Amino acid sequence: RPSMLPRHVQRLGRDCMAHWNGSQILTLNSPLSSCMRWAGHYPPWASFPLPISADFSANWRFPPFFGPWRLFQNSNWHLDNYTQSCCFHQPNPSMKSEGEEPLTKKRRLSGQGDTSTPEQETNLSSQKEVSCVSVAQNEEKHGSRKGTIKRHWEYFCQQSKTMKIAKNKGSDQSSTGSEASFDFTVMSYNILSQNLLEDNSHLYRHCRQRLLFWTYRFPNILQEIKELDADVLCLQEVQEDHYRSEIKSSLESLGYHCEYKMRTGRKPDGCAICFKTSKFSLISSNPVEFFRRDIPLLDRDNVGLVLLLQPRFQCKASAAICIANTHLLYNPRRGDIKLTQLAMLLAEIASVASQKDGSFCPIIICGDFNSVPGSPLYRFIKEGKLNYEGLAIGKVSGQEQFPRGQRILSIPIWPKKLGISQNCVYEIKQQQKEENAGEKLEAAKLDNTQGIVIASEKLSSKLQHHLKLSSVYSHYFPETGIPEVTTCHSRSAVTVDYIFYSAANDATAAQPGAEDSFCGGLKLLGRLALLTEKDLWTVNGLPNENNSSDHLPLLAEFRLIER
């Protein structure tokens, strides 16, 4: 039947349908459940607003292909680019096996108003702001880039800020009286192995495809390392072929010496510790392999790396710092393996950091521990003790709200042939220490350390270590109680990365920035503030255009003090 409408109106109708059908084809396989909307912004060929949905993201950007049909045909469009450029956070179809998304993430689209934390709002004029990574250097001349979140420095004493200003002016390290101080910074950063990214692509459905290529990601990561300019880098998920071809040479050009340990088996990534040769010299490098062919429990390929470094400044000849880096097993249901891997790392640290008088040199432990704050594994690191009797293996790391691993940890967790005691030290050295003590002391005058050893043998469900570790980060923002986040992807946003450091005594261990008045040790001067999950979703989570890992870098400044 011939149309009764004028010809120009018919042509307008055909053009509208052509564009509408094109958009339907592009979204045919999209998991979006509701119709699209243009929120008052509509194509120039439409004379009316189009339908909208209630869950539309405020970050939606206008698709580039709407317009004349010839421009759409000639444009370089891709389904992933289209769906992700709209900033819709799509549900993961395979999520059912892992439980639902965290409630905070479900609510992120409804968050309105200012997303900055109270710590970002207060006293910004006196804080050093550090921009998230930027690829294009010319953007630095025109302020921060769009979609960039600022992270600021948190100082624990005015002196540390004054020292940083003096350091930037080129002054020497301070040395007053009998005290010699040495300031340095340490970064812990899981840079996301490209192979692991591709093997777990379901975690990055919220990302635009082009942002996930290594050729895009590596310049971002390298630029961030340059900007933060840490004296020591502890990197996880460093892919071996990328390390050999470009990561190592790039860091060496920045003045770093690099030590690397690849995971065992056929795993293509590992851990690296890189330090500035202008600040440190290498005393020893000690890789740790958690895989043991003769022990069925230890069938995973995770590794650790422990360095002993000599600071380059006027100090006692015995001055040294022990730096450790690791990436523990992810599996939330295998807390028994996680604890055993941690015990192996602590035993190696105790061996490397041990001094002639029986004490330990200052220790810093970095890494991705795949455990959340407050979990039994976390408490064991900080408190130095853990009674695991009756503890389910699925609750060790605290990664799952409703743990699926219900089997109770065996007593002891690992077999005796591993050669590590319940005090997390190598048993050979512990036996030698006990024999030497036995020759000098009577049974009634055994020292406290020997008493602890005997007690641990009688109560075999108790793990202990004597490193006196404290966490650089508090894990919650004090004003709001909102958790800090170190990793954020399509499945979760939590803290699993840490920097632990040794405090001289129990009184100073719980107070960042506190100084021990009796002996030398590490003093925490400041840290680069972390962000909330809400902050990160304002830039579409991680990775994003400016941050090319699914983890944030952790950065802390320490002072080594000798008396």
pLDDT digits (tens, 9 = 90+) for 478-535: 999 999 999 999 999 999 999 999 975 544 444 454 443 334 589 999 999 999 999 9
Answer whether residue 511 is part of any domain: no
**What pLDDT, on the 0 to 100 scale, is given for residue 239?**
98
Please report which residue ranges of 144-210 form alpha helices under DSSP H.
158-168, 194-199
Task: Kindly give, in sequence order, each residue whose CB lies less than 8 Å from that of residue 245, ignoring residues fewer than 6 positions away.
Answer: none
Residue 21 lies in a domain: no
- What pLDDT does residue 363 have? 98
Tell me whether residue 405 is in a domain. Answer: yes
Q: Which residues of the chain have pLDDT under 70?
A: 1-146, 158-180, 314-318, 429-459, 504-520, 563
Give the DSSP H or E segment for 305. strand 303-311
Which CATH number do you get for residue 277?
Answer: 3.60.10.10
CA distances from 390 to 374, 460, 549 (A): 18, 13, 37
Domain annotation covers residue 125 = no
Distance CA 238, CA 42 (A): 45
Give the separation between CA 82 and CA 411, rounded to whole angstroms: 54
Sign of the torsion formed by the C-alpha atoms of 387, 388, 389 and 390: positive
**Which residue segment(s) compose the domain that 496 sits in?**
180-426+460-505+517-561
Q: What is the pLDDT of residue 12?
A: 52
- DSSP string over 217-254: HHHHHHHHHHHH--SEEEEEEEEHHHIIIIIHHHHHTT
d(Cα 87, Cα 466) in Å, to the nearest integer? 48
For residues 35-56, b (16+ Cβ closer than 10 Å) or e, as one string? ebbbeeeebeeeeeebeeeeeb
pLDDT, residue 413, reads: 97
In a domain, 42, yes or no: no
What is the secondary structure of 466-533 as a DSSP string? ---EEES--SB-TTT-PBPBSEE-SS-EE--EEEEEE-SSHHHHTSTT---SSS-EEEEEEEE--B-H
The pLDDT value recorded for residue 291 is 98
How far is Cα 475 from Cα 484, in angstroms, rounded to an integer?
Answer: 5
CA-closest candidate to residue 349, choices 331, 367, 372, 370: 367
Smallest Cα–Cα separation from 205: which of 101, 305, 112?
101
Q: Is residue 338 part of a domain?
A: yes
Packed helices 448-458 and 427-440: angle between N→C axes, nearest 10 degrees:
130
Half-sphere exposure of 452 (CA within 13 A, CB side): 16
Q: What is the pLDDT of residue 46?
A: 41
- Residue 106 belongs to a domain: no
Residue whose tokens read 């077999």: 415
Query: Is 437 domain-assigned?
Result: no
Report the distance separating Cα 48 and Cα 510, nearest Å.
62
pLDDT of residue 157: 73
Q: How many domains does the chain have?
A: 1
